[in-house]
């Protein structure tokens, strides 16, 4: 064993054996890794014995145990941490719950194939999309990355070299003005709560879950504050006075709504949405109309609560001036 650099991670690995037990530690510099390696190789030293006694590698643990360890050390701090853990445990079971040390990219590649072919099913649909499989890949890879950062995983990430599937950019469906009018009318037929939730989504660009889970404490005249968001940051968005006054304040959750109610209103309004899209069309509709009406892309980023401007740039082409030079500068313009 020795000291070597992992070019992909950009870190130095000190890899040694003490009394038959393998000890691996990552360092930012070669000097740190070499110092650790040379010291730990002195088998009778107090430092060597301390490292041996406190080595807590999880390589022998089952994949499900590694996922639980990830949750205990990191996942429980995430907004959707428990939901993510449940998904990871389903994946571990479908993979046969192998020992971490025996889990390979080949195992996950076979799992992906079976997921796409409908041989492994978690919910109602018999098959899943490439995007779903890529997300599962990302989630499981993050488990090994985080455990490595906590010193609980000393091997390379077993699926880090496995490429994600390439995907095509999906159509960002949004509602036209006449569709918005029909939807609001049909939402009122379903329930007053649904009408208010749909109106708030269209007025703030918030996610369905952010509005559906609203409590009175998140409202002040004339503003709504979203907490426990996907990005982890709270954000406040102003709303019109008449919309604020239409909200009936009470203890607990303000609205009794379900996505099925929204689907019913969509069907009543005879609105066709792309496959796989439902409530999120409200968020797309807000963002699209915001840009079409001359809104600023940076302001939109803050309203939507995006952590990365790249997410918001999906809506840039809706701006009236976007790429308008194509009209004036194309070869037919002066003919």
Which residues does the annotation mark as catalytic? 207, 230, 280, 283, 306, 315
Residue with tokens 């009209």: 327
What's 217's DSSP letter? G
Let me know: does 92 contact 143? Beta carbons within 8 Å.
Answer: no
Between CA 155 and CA 7 the distance in angstroms is 15
- Is the previous residue joined to 93 through a cis bond, with omega within 30 degrees of 0? no
> CB of 182 within 8 A of CB of 270?
yes
What is the C-alpha radius of gyration for the chain, rounded to an integer number of angstroms? 26
Helix, strand, or coil (residue 13): strand
Check: CB of residue 52 under 8 Å from CB of residue 25: no
> Contact 75/86 with Cβ under 8 angstroms?
no
Give the span between the Cα atoms of 194 and 196, in whole angstroms: 5
**Using CB atoms within 10 A of its CB, is residue 333 exposed (0-12), middle (13-18) or buried (19+)?**
exposed
DSSP code string of 99-129: BGGG--HHHHHHHHHHHHTTSS-SSS-SS--
């Amino acid at each position: 064993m020795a000291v070597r650099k992992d070019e992909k991670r950009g870190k130095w690995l000190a890899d040694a054996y003490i009394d038959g037990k393998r000890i691996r530690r990552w360092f930012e510099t070669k000097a740190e890794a070499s110092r650790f390696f040379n010291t730990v190789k002195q088998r009778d030293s107090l430092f060597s014995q301390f490292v041996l006694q406190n080595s807590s590698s999880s390589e022998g643990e089952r994949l499900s145990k590694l996922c639980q360890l990830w949750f205990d050390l990191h996942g429980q701090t995430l907004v959707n941490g428990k939901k993510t853990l449940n998904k990871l445990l389903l994946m571990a079971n479908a993979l046969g719950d192998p020992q971490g040390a025996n889990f390979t990219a080949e195992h996950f590649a076979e799992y992906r194939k079976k997921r796409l072919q409908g041989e492994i099913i978690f919910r109602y649909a018999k098959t899943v999309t490439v995007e779903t499989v890529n997300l599962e890949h990302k989630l499981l890879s993050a488990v090994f990355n985080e455990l490595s950062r906590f010193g609980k995983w000393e091997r390379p990430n077993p699926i880090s070299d496995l490429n994600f599937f390439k995907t095509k950019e999906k159509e960002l469906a949004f509602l036209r003005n006449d569709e918005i009018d029909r939807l609001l009318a049909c939402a009122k037929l379903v329930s007053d709560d649904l009408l208010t939730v749909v109106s708030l989504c269209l007025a703030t660009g918030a996610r369905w879950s952010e509005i559906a889970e609203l409590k009175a404490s998140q409202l002040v005249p004339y503003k709504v504050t979203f907490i426990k968001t996907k990005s982890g940051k709270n954000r406040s968005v102003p709303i019109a006075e008449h919309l604020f006054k239409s909200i009936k304040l009470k203890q607990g959750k303000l609205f009794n709504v379900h996505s099925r109610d929204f689907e019913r209103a969509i069907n009543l309004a005879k609105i066709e949405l792309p496959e796989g899209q439902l409530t999120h069309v409200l968020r797309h509709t807000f963002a699209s109309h915001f840009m079409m009406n001359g809104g600023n892309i940076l302001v939109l980023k803050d309203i939507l609560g995006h952590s990365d401007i790249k997410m918001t740039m999906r809506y840039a082409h809706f701006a009236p001036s976007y790429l308008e030079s194509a009209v004036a500068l194309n070869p037919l313009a002066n003919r």
